[in-house]
Amino acid sequence: MRVLLVGGGGREHALALGLADDPSVEAVIAAPGNPGIAAVAELRDVAAADPGAVAALAVEVQADLVVIGPEAPLVAGVADAVRAKGIAVFGPSAEAARLEGSKTFAKEIMTAAGVPTARAYTCTDAESTAKALDDFGAPYVVKNDGLAAGKGVVVTDDRDAALAHARDCGRVVIEEYLDGPEVSLFVVTDGEAAVPLLPAQDFKRIGDGDTGPNTGGMGAYAPLPWAPAGLVDEVMADVVHPTLTELRRRGTPFAGLLYVGLALTAAGPRVIEFNARFGDPETQVVLALLETPLAGLLHAAATGTLAAHPPLRWRDGAAVTVVVAAEGYPASPRTGDVITGADRAGIIHAGTRRGADGALLSAGGRVLCGTATGPDLAAARDAAYALVSGVELAGSQHRTDIAAAAVDGRITVPAGG
């Protein structure tokens, strides 16, 4: 199978490693890819969110499967354009990707499907915003209604800051605060059949102890030793299948990767958000543990044959990834600095590029991450930090507490969660 992978971040590097490892894959072509992906794939330049350009490239490289990594191309209709060429594509249609592209649409689907989530109001002016904030009380949760690369959400006790974020965004969703540990569950689906991957946890805030502003994600681990038995089955029954059924009923089935972000509250699991693609950096840890060949799984979802796919096999042990971010991230990351020590197995490239002299340079906020597996979470964590400590990048930052609370047994799920 020839696979065209669209995107060029850490998630795509992890996907590229998984695809290249699949014995049924003859070649991986990544567009635009990154210097890490270049080790396992041929790189092609493309405007990833241009449906016509990606579809033309898929035809040119004779792809048997196109895998779309990031959300922007999905929302722009890249999957539709590739499918229209008769090529199998892993990634939902633009219509179905609205589950991620619009928080209001996601709420509408959840309400129609009876999916447990936070109560919410969509607001466009100061008056309705203030009323919604006061209705729910602190902590305030204010979400940009459109795509914001995981950074459009402000959770704060400061009412003025909540109002200011709403004003900056224009159209926002304001919702009740969900209290409880968070879980990311990835589900591979062809629109009807649905296969959950291992639950993972990511770290959204920039600082240790979950302090500072939200980011695209600063680290992750899987599996979750503290997750209640039966959690995945419960989420499949109460969230995933009702959502897929509602989207089929509307004539816009969701085929691809349904990412369910949950809070395990005292009232039970509640959906925080849906994404229409693999999460970054959770993908790095989940795929590090997946033994089942990746391309075969994604091809089955892309061709409506997932029900016939054999059950997934997982490696024993755990995986941890630690993100190294540029100085100034998330507000104003500095780019163009030289990176050394990154040419090692387990280093996943996110925001990197090659300079004219071949030197590896930082080119984004989240620059790279160290991903390691181990017989248990503590061993995987230590190995991931050992990888990161070998990387040099002036002014870089990383959290020092990825997976620490889970290793120390400090995560508790409220009764009922």
Give the residues lining the site for ligand AMP (CB under 6 A).
118, 141, 143, 150, 153, 155, 175, 177-178, 182, 204, 214, 261, 272-273
Q: Least distance to ligand AMP from the beta carbon of 393, Å?
A: 26
Q: Least distance to ligand AMP from the beta carbon of 306, Å?
A: 26
Taking the least distance from each CB to ligand AMP, the nearer of 33 and 181 is: 181
Q: Least distance to ligand AMP from the beta carbon of 188, Å?
A: 20
Question: How far from chain centre, in Å, is Cα 108?
Answer: 22
Environment class of 357 (CB within 10 Å of its CB; exposed 0-12, middle 13-18, buried 19+): exposed
Under 8 Å between Cβ of 405 and 210: no
Taking the least distance from each CB to ligand AMP, the nearer of 263 and 339 is: 263
Taking the least distance from each CB to ligand AMP, the nearer of 265 and 373 is: 265
What CA–CA distance (Å, rounded) separates 143 from 103? 8
Instruction: Tell me the β-bridge partners of 207.
Output: 211
Residue 413, both tokens: 């799920």
Q: Which helix H or strand E contains 362, and what residues bound it?
A: strand 360-362
Taking the least distance from each CB to ligand AMP, the nearer of 101 and 261 is: 261
| Cβ-count burial 134-164 (b if 16+ within 10 Å, e if not) | eebeeebbbbbbebeebebbbbbeeeeebbe
Instruction: Tell me the β-bridge partners of 370.
Output: 322, 347
- The SS3 of residue 6 is strand
Amino acid at 154: V
How far apart, in Å, are the Cα atoms of 97 and each of 101, 296, 309, 356?
Answer: 6, 23, 24, 37
Q: Least distance to ligand AMP from the beta carbon of 51, Å?
A: 25
Taking the least distance from each CB to ligand AMP, the nearer of 212 and 296 is: 212
Q: Least distance to ligand AMP from the beta carbon of 82, Å?
A: 27
DSSP one-letter code for 277: S
Taking the least distance from each CB to ligand AMP, the nearer of 204 and 277 is: 204
DSSP one-letter code for 190: S
DSSP one-letter code for 337: -
Q: Least distance to ligand AMP from the beta carbon of 80, Å?
A: 25
Residue 92, both tokens: 């939902």
Q: Least distance to ligand AMP from the beta carbon of 44, Å?
A: 31
Under 8 Å between Cβ of 287 and 19: no
Taking the least distance from each CB to ligand AMP, the nearer of 141 and 290 is: 141
Q: Least distance to ligand AMP from the beta carbon of 282, Å?
A: 11
Residue 180, both tokens: 């409880």
Taking the least distance from each CB to ligand AMP, the nearer of 182 and 327 is: 182
